[in-house]
Structure 1
Amino acid sequence: MRRLKTRYYKYAAFFGFQGDENKMTDISFTTGTSRPASQKHREQPVALTTYATNGRVFRAGLCAMFVVLTGQLSTVNGADTVTIKSTNKTVSGDVSEITRDSVSVKSLSRTVKIPANDVAAIKWSKEPAKLNIARGDERRGRFAEALEDYEEIQGSIDSPSAELKTDLEFGIANCTAELALQSEGDNADAVAKLEAFLKANPQSYHYYKSLDLLGRLYAQQQAWDNAERSYKELAKSSLPEYQMTAKIGEGRILLSQGGEDTAAAKAAFEAVIQMDASSPSEKNKQFEAKLGLASCLVREKEYAEALEILDQVVSDTNITDEEVLANAYIQQGKCHMAADQNKLAVLSFLHVDTLLFQARGPHAEALYYLTRLWPQVGKTKRGEDARMKLETNFPDSQWVKQLNDN
């Protein structure tokens, strides 16, 4: 409220009125909603009371101020809003330029350029309200629900703007890919959607993320040449996070193909670890590289060194970064298994099952290993429970298929 009074006081001064803002009675908004004071100026005023200073009533000035403020408010209401991933803050204005590497937002006073990898979402000025629900489901890893919402929205809009159309296409492609990577969707369909998106939108701010998804999908198919091609294109980005992602992808391909020779894969992961990391997302990429390095060490039977790295990742990773943390516990559990430390392996996988279960891919993998490990530590019933949970919650997962094949 203080900010609102100050704003109105400045407009009163502009129109030639004098007075102490602290003596002015409050300005009353009637909007039908309750918001923090810092956000109330974005609402359209419905009712505005007259106030006085030093005994003088100035209704004419209020009318003029109302006109000025209404114009200003409508400008904000009609703006695009970009949420910045690293700060969780928003920038409002007109999205004036989109490239592979950045999104530019032009407001009344300045233009802000946001790196593509730091754009969490863009809320377009005339988008349907349901789109926000779809984004929320996608952000929480509820990809099936988000996909359904995106497809429904896409089918219900007659003439979407080019930007909204592109975001809907990517939302559908991204959710399809994530489901496929969790073995809960069709890999070939996901690849086709991403290839089509990249061809149609070569300057989208989703371009490099699409390449990463495509590389992972091709790796899932063991189509190594196509996966390598995707990561080589990704490495051309000027953004360090995407350069790190490309190098990690290269390391994973080498590790998958390399048999017992892990030298090339280790070099790729170590290159990422040696890069400067200034943002939380870049630091997470270094954690991913450390997980890759630990996998190399496990293959070399260097279990103690691998566990030291994994313990460090678990210690340093923020609890909110569930995917990274869950994968760290998965690697830790597999390392303990390789070292014939089954009880310790169970504890690692239980972290994922009980605390990090929203990371669906790692959760399914953890349940697979718990199904196998519980009987080996004398807990047959718990193994049966883990199998039931896996088959119920992840019926189409590769881990169910692998369990049944064994």
Structure 2
Amino acid sequence: MLTAMAIACLWCTSASGQSDRVYLNNGDVMSGRLEKVVRQGISFKAGGKTENIPAGDIQKVLLQGDPPGLVKGRQFALEGQYEEALEELKSVNPNDVPRQVIGTEVQFYRLLCQAKLALSGRGDRKSVVAGLRAFAGENSNSWHFYQTAEMLGELALALGDNDRAIAYFKSLASAPTKNTKVRSKYLTGTAKLAKGDTEAAAEDLQQVAGIEADSVALAKTKTLGRIKLAECYAKSGRNDEAIKLADAVLEDLDPLDLELASKVYNSRGMIFEATGDFEGAVLAFLHTELMFNSVPQSHAESLSHLAQLWAKVGKPERGAKAKQELSQRYPGYAQ
């Protein structure tokens, strides 16, 4: 993988080639000219032919005229290094760039980083929500529109506004790609589960769990849908079904996919907690704390549960330690 610095240098040296580049999620790269941007995707001219590329198929777009701070900041953001990304993006004035679309990119990636940090308790969630709403209103035809809606849904969920989260997540169903539509169903199901409507949540998540996953992205969404469905079962008193499904998900899990694995183990913790197996819950959340602490949001979630669970297994001092670490590393998580 090229580092952000290496990509920046490569792009700076090739910018004179009068070319934009689109990097697709399937690994393909196209060089040409960005001609049009709408919320459903982009029109891109390459080799004399204009192609419409759906938003959900795009990993990133490098634009002729991108300042180095955007090139490096964008790459840091895509790698999950949000604080480093923000430092780079601070160097770019979105109103002083050669193309309007470049300014939009700067604004979006700043907000993406701020949202990800806020979700793990390292930022003001309400102020980020205000920023994202303003961005969506001013850039309703950005190909980042559905990403923005998803982040707004996640922040609404974190703020306890489950109905608003459901509305945002449902809006993803109008996206052009299959995975985004399936993510809409998965995320809507998780919001309904958070609301306490386990029956409605299970209906959505059963659809996700039953899809034919013909891509890596869909396979991940299906895995998340299956583990959340198991959580629905546990919270509905169907304990045996919940444990059986959770174990099956674990057997198929790629432990090298840290973000996915951390979410699965946290859901296992919630499943065990719902069934009254507090020792099992502690072990699941502890697995995230020890093995996936590089995934901030999942790590914060595990600590928040451990802060309460340790006392239930006779170790309140460890609960106090987890609570202290949560407040130090993720001070806004419980707000």
TM-score by length of 2: 0.85
- Counterpart in 2 of 1:150? 89
Which residue, 102, 106, 109 being the options, matches 1:164? 102
- Residue by residue over 1:324-371, the C-alpha shift from the partner in whole angstroms, topping out at 9 and shown as x without a partner, is 211110111222233343333232122212221222111012123334
- Residue by residue over 1:35-75, the C-alpha shift from the partner in whole angstroms, topping out at 9 and shown as x without a partner, is 9xxxxxx998xxxxxxxxxxxxxxxxxxxxxxxxxxxx887
Q: Percent identity over the alignment?
A: 28
Does the CA contact (< 8 Å) of 2:54 and 2:176 recur in 1?
no
- Which stretch shifts more, 163-172 or 349-358? 349-358
Residue 202, structure 1, aligned to residue 157, structure 2:
no
Which residue, 239, 254, 263 being the options, matches 1:318? 254
Which residue, 103, 121, 126 being the options, matches 2:42? 103
Q: 1: distance between equivalents of 2:233 and 2:62?
A: 44
Residue 243 of structure 1 aligns to which amino acid in structure 2? K
Does the CA contact (< 8 Å) of 1:86 and 1:280 recur in 2?
no
Residue 288 of structure 1 aligns to which amino acid in structure 2? L
- Counterpart in 2 of 1:93? 32
- Counterpart in 1 of 2:159? 221
- Counterpart in 1 of 2:23? 83
Aligned residues: 327
Q: 1: distance between equivalents of 2:285 and 2:164?
A: 32
- Counterpart in 2 of 1:243? 181
- Residue by residue over 1:118-167, the C-alpha shift from the partner in whole angstroms, topping out at 9 and shown as x without a partner, is 21111112111122321233223332332343233136x62341111111
Written as runs of structure 1 = structure 2, the 5 A alignment for 1:253-264 is: 253-258=191-196, 262-264=198-200
- Counterpart in 2 of 1:6? none
Does the CA contact (< 8 Å) of 2:166 and 2:192 recur in 1?
no
Where structure 2 has 5 or more consecutive residues not aligned to the other structure, the ranges are 1-5
Written as runs of structure 1 = structure 2, the 5 A alignment for 1:389-404 is: 389-398=325-334
Which residue, 334, 340, 347 being the options, matches 2:283? 347
Q: 2: distance between equivalents of 1:225 and 1:383?
A: 32
Does the CA contact (< 8 Å) of 1:212 and 1:245 recur in 2?
no
Q: 2: distance between equivalents of 1:239 and 1:348?
A: 34
Residue 304, structure 1, aligned to residue 243, structure 2:
no
Which residue, 254, 264, 277 being the options, matches 1:328? 264
Does the CA contact (< 8 Å) of 1:141 and 1:358 recur in 2?
no
Residues 1:291 and 1:167: Cα distance change in structure 2 (over 3 Å): same
Three-state SS of the structure 1 residue aligned to 2:241 is helix
Three-state SS of the structure 1 residue aligned to 2:205 is helix
Three-state SS of the structure 1 residue aligned to 2:67 is coil
Q: 1: distance between equivalents of 2:15 and 2:71?
A: 21
- Residue by residue over 1:358-385, the C-alpha shift from the partner in whole angstroms, topping out at 9 and shown as x without a partner, is 2211101212333444455565665454
Q: 1: distance between equivalents of 2:128 and 2:101?
A: 21
Which residue, 113, 118, 121 being the options, matches 1:183? 121
Q: 1: distance between equivalents of 2:91 and 2:286?
A: 37
Three-state SS of the structure 2 residue aligned to 1:81 is strand
Q: 2: distance between equivalents of 1:83 and 1:43?
A: 17
Q: 1: distance between equivalents of 2:216 and 2:37?
A: 23
Residues 1:165 and 1:320: Cα distance change in structure 2 (over 3 Å): farther
Cα RMSD after superposing both structures = 2.9
- Counterpart in 2 of 1:124? 63
Does the CA contact (< 8 Å) of 2:118 and 2:332 recur in 1?
no
Three-state SS of the structure 2 residue aligned to 1:185 is coil
Which residue, 334, 356, 361 being the options, matches 2:292? 356
Three-state SS of the structure 1 residue aligned to 2:104 is helix
Residues 1:102 and 1:254: Cα distance change in structure 2 (over 3 Å): same
Q: 1: distance between equivalents of 2:63 and 2:185?
A: 33
Residues 1:227 and 1:372: Cα distance change in structure 2 (over 3 Å): closer
Q: 2: distance between equivalents of 1:318 and 1:196?
A: 38
Q: 2: distance between equivalents of 1:239 and 1:181?
A: 25
Residue 358 of structure 1 aligns to which amino acid in structure 2? S
Deviation at 1:264, TM superposition (A): 1.5
Q: 2: distance between equivalents of 1:195 and 1:74?
A: 33
Does the CA contact (< 8 Å) of 1:374 and 1:382 recur in 2?
yes
Q: 2: distance between equivalents of 1:347 and 1:170?
A: 38
Residues 1:247 and 1:389: Cα distance change in structure 2 (over 3 Å): same
Q: 2: distance between equivalents of 1:135 and 1:354?
A: 29
Residue 147 of structure 1 aligns to which amino acid in structure 2? L
Q: 2: distance between equivalents of 1:322 and 1:91?
A: 29
Deviation at 1:97, TM superposition (A): 2.8
Residue 311 of structure 1 aligns to which amino acid in structure 2? D
